[in-house]
Amino acid sequence: MQKKILFVVTSHDKKGNTGENTGYYLGEVSHPWEVLHKAGYEIDFVSPKGGKPPVDGFDLEDPVNKEFWENEEYKNKIDHSMKPSQVKANDYSTIFYAGGHGAMWDFADNTQLALIASKIYENGGIVAGVCHGPAGLVNIKLNNGKYLVDGKKINAFTNEEEAEVKLTDIVPFLLEDQLKERGAKFEKSGLWQNHVVSDQRVITGQNPQSAKSVGEAILKELKK
């Protein structure tokens, strides 16, 4: 029996003090889900607060979003996401942090999630994220005391993309800068380009356009 995959989604629903709603970005869950689900993997969901997470990027014109949203089993799973305290790290081969701006407020400082991720990684598993999801990677430390991203090629939502959506002064930190501070070799493409990098079982993608490719990269790594 193959180990399951754990998707992490944000519980945070506001972009700072702007009054604008946010949450997990639907396409960044549905596109990797479709790739991995079709390959026969079971997926569970966790969020910092558990329960029903807020959703953003809600576009059912996207057939993959629609397929996920109308899948009763998975819609029920994400609407009843686990709390970090309910997760048994040994059950999972992979942890994947989905993006959406909310992740910038509640991923980085969640020590329980960081511990789960470090256990999965130290067990030989995969740590992945897309867009703002890699906010969850910035404080993961390994048994040797080093940051997970230190010395690895990493990719995430860029400073330029944050400026483009005019949230540079709203987010609590700039993801690209923070990852570089942790020793990541940050790679990037132009605005909204599909860019995915895989380095030593850490797989990261730049933006919503990269979500499916992250799923495919996880699948490729799982098959090794």
Q: How far is CA 151 from the centre of its chain?
A: 20
CB contact at 8 A, 130 and 28: yes
Is 131 assigned a catalytic role? yes
> Is 132 considered catalytic here?
yes
CB 74 within 8 Å of CB 29: no
Q: Which of 28, 101, 131, 176 is catalytic?
A: 131
Give the residue among 147, 89, 81, 149 at the shortest CA–CA distance from 113: 89
Among this protein's residues, is 162 annotated catalytic?
Answer: yes
| Distance set, CA 49 to CA 66, 85, 109, 114, 204 (Å) | 25, 10, 13, 15, 24
Eight-class DSSP state of 31:
H
Instruction: Name the token pair of 168.
Output: 């540079």
Enter the DSSP assignment of 93: E
Tokens (6 digits) for 90: 């040994």
**What is the distance of C-alpha 136 from the center of its chain?**
7
Q: Which residue is catalytic, options 132, 161, 176, 195? A: 132
Q: Which residues contact 161 (CB under 8 A, 6 or more apart)?
A: 191, 192, 206, 207
206 Cα distance to chain centroid? 11
Structure tokens at 58: 């809600």
The catalytic residue among 28, 34, 161, 162 is 162
Catalytic residue ranges: 131-132, 162
